[in-house]
Structure formats: C-alpha cells, structure tokens
Homo-oligomer: A and B are copies of this chain.
Amino acid sequence: MIELKKPNVVILGAGYGGLMTAVRLQKFVGVNEANITLVNKNNYHYETTWLHEASAGTLHHDRVRYPIADVIDRSKVQFVQDTVVKVVPQEKRVILQNGELTYDYLVIALGFESETFGIKGLKEYAFSIANVNAARQIREHIEYQFATYHTEEEKRDERLTIVVGGAGFTGIEFLGELANRIPELCREYDVDPKKVRIICVEAAPTALPGFDPELVEYAVSLLERKGVEFKIGTAIKECTPEGIVVAKGDEVEEIKAGTVVWAAGVRGSYVIDESGFEAMRGRVKVDPFLRAPGYDNVFIVGDCSLMINEETNRPYPPTAQIAMQQGELCAKNLAVLIREQGELQPFKPDIKGTVCSLGHDDAIGVVFGKKMWGAKASFMKKMVDNRALYLIGGPSLVMKKGKFKFF
C-alpha cells in the first residue's frame, strides 16, 4: 500500500505565539496537506498579559483562560496535553514527559520562565507571576496573610507587607491591581489600611525604563497616591522566609514582608537549553524567517526567540504583540513549505504601541506614536486585550472573555 506522505508539523506551546501559529495554519492548509499536532501542558490557553490581575485577585483566573478546544479545528489539529522535556533537532524528535513525537517541521513556542539572576532565596521564597497556577497561589497567599493577621495573639504587621521586585511592565501593572485590591482585603478581614504596606523595589534608576518619562511620572505618582512606596535604584540582595534584604549604594536594609513577588526578570524556556540550541537565557537568535541557526525546519516564536531591532540595535521585547505576529508569519511560511510553492517571508514586527495598565481604571501608553493616560489609555488597554482574543478566537471569543467597560 502506498500512502502519500503528509508532513508532520509539531507546535510546542499554546501561548500567544504557538496558538496563533496553530489557528492560522489550520486555516491555510487542508486536512490532507499536513498532520498538525499542538502540544501544551494544560488544556487551556491563558492570557499571560492578564495574569497580574488574577494574581492580585481583581480578575478571576477563569476569566484569564479558555479551553484550547474552543479555538482549534479538531479535524486539522491534534491536541496533545503533555509537558515538553526536550527537543532532539538532529533526529527531528520531541521528547515529552509521557511520550515522544517526530516532526518534519517544528515550531517552538514555549514561552518564558522567571529569571532570578542567582539572587539568593528568590527561587525558594518569592512568588513569580508565571502562569495560572502561580497567579491563583499568589492571590490566595496574600489573602491568607490578611486572614491570619487577627488570629495571632501578637499582631505581626509584616504579614500585611507586600514587596514587588521590579518596576518594569509587569511590576507596575501588578502594583496597579494590588492598590485597588487592598481596600477590599482590608474590609474583608477587618484590617486597618494604615497597617498595609506595598513596596516596590527597582534596581534601575527609574521605574518603567524605556518608557516616556512624563508617563512614568504619571504612573509613579498615581501609585504613590494609592499607597505604593517606591525604592528606585535599589537592588534586592536576598530573599528570606521573613522578607528581603535590599541595598542602595552602601546602605543595606532588611524589609520584613509576608509576601514577595518577583516581577523583574524573565528568560526563555529551559527546554531551549536542554535541547542544545545556542541561546542566551533560553532565547535563540533566530534568522529573519524565525528559524533556529542550523535547523531549517525548526521555527522559534515568542519569548524563546531573540531578534534585534536594527533601529535601536537592541532586542525586541518579549511581548504578546510580537509573539502573535510571529505566529501568524510562521503559519504562512509553514504553508509555503508544506505546499512547496511560494517563497518564505521574513518577519517584520509592526509595533502599534504599548499600554501599561494601572488598575482597571487607569493606564499610560503610547499608541501609534501618541502619548495617552487616564481613562483614554485605560480604554485603549482593554482594546489591546480584546484584540488578542479576537486575533486568535474571533468575535465569539471576545464576547466570552473580552473586557468591556462594565464588569
């Protein structure tokens, strides 16, 4: 019996980049043109850029995720729920925790992991806004600190101190949600709001490095008005079960805190290192077609890929926006390869802007080169969030999971 060999396309990860590759590819190719397999640890996709809300408890984690089955076409894409252990690119194999796959074309879209830069104790004692599991644990941990406060004979005010490591994008967005959440927690657990401290520690000389200084000023003073204390130009030296040790120049200070959330470092997946790709912190410098050096059949999209912005001579940041654009291009290029017709297109990011939320009711941003803040920026942020849903799941997903003004 002779069978026409259909190429095996394997996509690792159903984050922004991987899921976008899958949903676009299932449109571009027919059932008989390729075997497409999507591998993901969970049977759901989550909005990484919304996790700070689930972590603070301002948005339920079920609002932040949706079943992968809702957006893939089962007749074209096979879904495997498993964890990727490593890729063996020389043998075109992927080793999973509970199995193995072979591929003709591979898309690695395994997302980010937390990077603690070797700071002592961070891995053990700090939380990281890494995924849905971590987010709801952070939410519950903070809530437990508040719930415990009044049960102790001797009140320990440090239970009510939350340290956020990093005033980058994630740190600031998380602070915005926390500042809104704290009054609710105080009411819930009869805690005097004056006892609560939210401290943000940032090693760089400014919050939101790279952002427009006027907007940074707006964000910082808004958060300060809501009770956040900033320690800028201050490095976390160590994290302990009791809190953190920070240093500003020669001044060393211990801050006792019931909760420490590390939001200052991300890296690509450890699977990249495990698989022997040449990489820096789990990120592979890909060619213009998003391919790993030396492997024409391995594409890397999202947080594990590294691409230099020639205008600034610095890498593009690992954002959802770029991951989705890469997924879309990757799907197009895969279709070219599968059909053996047409030409591969190089990746050209189209950065429409950046909006950083400051709670559900405020934000700052630059969109199409225009600075904005307040209600306008906050509205724009919700549009950005809804757009991610739209691009992957169309209008029905926006209706199900979208953010509108009143909820």
Question: Footprint of B on A, CB under 8 Å?
Answer: 133-134, 136-137, 139-141, 143-144, 147-148, 150-151, 188-189
* Copies of this chain, whole number: 2
- A144-B134 Cα distance, complex, nearest whole Å: 12
Cβ of A189: which chain B residues have Cβ within 8 Å of it? 136
- A189-B134 Cα distance, complex, nearest whole Å: 11
Cβ of A147: which chain B residues have Cβ within 8 Å of it? 136-137, 139-141
- A133-B143 Cα distance, complex, nearest whole Å: 13
Q: How far is the CB of A145 from chain B (nearest CB, A)?
A: 9
- A141-B144 Cα distance, complex, nearest whole Å: 6
Query: When the two chains form their complex, are residues B137 and A140 in contact, meaning their CB atoms are under 8 A apart?
Result: no
Cβ of A144: which chain B residues have Cβ within 8 Å of it? 137, 140-141, 143-144
Q: How far is the CB of A17 from chain B (nearest CB, A)?
A: 23
Sort A-B residue pairs by CB-CB distance and give the 6 closest, nearest first: A140-B147, A133-B150, A140-B144, A137-B147, A133-B151, A144-B144
Q: How far is the CB of A53 from chain B (nearest CB, A)?
A: 16
Q: How far is the CB of A116 from chain B (nearest CB, A)?
A: 16
Which B-chain residue is minimally distant from A143 (CB atoms)?
B140
Which B-chain residue is minimally distant from A149 (CB atoms)?
B133
- A136-B147 Cα distance, complex, nearest whole Å: 6
Cβ of A134: which chain B residues have Cβ within 8 Å of it? 151
Which B-chain residue is minimally distant from A140 (CB atoms)?
B147
- A133-B148 Cα distance, complex, nearest whole Å: 8
- A189-B139 Cα distance, complex, nearest whole Å: 12
- A221-B139 Cα distance, complex, nearest whole Å: 36
Cβ of A139: which chain B residues have Cβ within 8 Å of it? 147
- A150-B140 Cα distance, complex, nearest whole Å: 13
- A147-B140 Cα distance, complex, nearest whole Å: 7
- A241-B148 Cα distance, complex, nearest whole Å: 17
Which B-chain residue is minimally distant from A139 (CB atoms)?
B147
